[in-house]
């Protein structure tokens, strides 16, 4: 009897751990899906839920765009502050922190053409 309930308890613990991992595992998102980091990508985050630790993958032809980490002001104005972190590989992985993150392309006219996203992670 003792052996049985011990095994049952272990099984329950394993299930709970598995469930916990399932709900906390990081998700990888390709920004813009098949179109990638491109014009009019701005609405791509709509309806998706993000959590801290999720990874955004920005895919684009190297040299055609870049990815600049900005704040709300930079997002709205399309003007990154000097020294803003900039990614240029064309296959950039950015891990989300909790809160709202803003990314734009700083090539002339691109951010204005909606190569920008705002993502809120829980």
Ligand X SMILES: *[C@@H]1O[C@H](CO)[C@@H](O)[C@H](O)[C@H]1NC(C)=O
Interaction site with Cu ion (CB under 5 A): 65, 105, 107, 110, 115
Task: Select the binding partner of residue 86 from ligand X, Cu ion, none (C-beta < 5 to 8 A, by kind).
Answer: none
Point out the residue whose Cβ comes nearest to ligand X: 93
Task: Select the binding partner of residue 65 from ligand X, Cu ion, none (C-beta < 5 to 8 A, by kind).
Answer: Cu ion
CB under 6 A: which stretch of 12-20, 86-94, 99-107, 114-122 binds ligand X?
A: 86-94
Both tokens of 16, joined, read: 């709970």
Instruction: Give yes or no for a contact between 79 and 60, defined as CB atoms under 8 angstroms apart.
Output: no
Residue 116: how many other CB atoms lie within 10 Å = 23
Give CA separation, 53 vs 10, 31, 35, 120, in Å.
Answer: 29, 15, 23, 12
The binding site for ligand X (CB under 6 A) comprises 57, 89, 91-93
């Amino acid at each position: 009897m003792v052996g049985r309930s011990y095994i049952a308890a272990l099984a329950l613990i394993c299930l709970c751990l598995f469930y916990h991992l399932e709900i906390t595992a990081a998700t990888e998102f390709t920004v813009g899906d098949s179109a990638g980091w491109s014009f009019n990508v701005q609405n791509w985050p709509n309806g998706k839920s993000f959590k801290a630790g999720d990874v955004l993958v920005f895919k684009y032809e190297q040299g055609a765009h870049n990815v600049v980490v900005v704040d709300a002001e930079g997002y709205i104005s399309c003007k990154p502050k000097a020294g803003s972190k900039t990614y240029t590989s064309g296959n950039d992985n950015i891990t989300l922190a909790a809160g709202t993150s803003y990314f734009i392309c700083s090539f002339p006219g691109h951010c204005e053409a909606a190569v920008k996203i705002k993502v809120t992670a829980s």
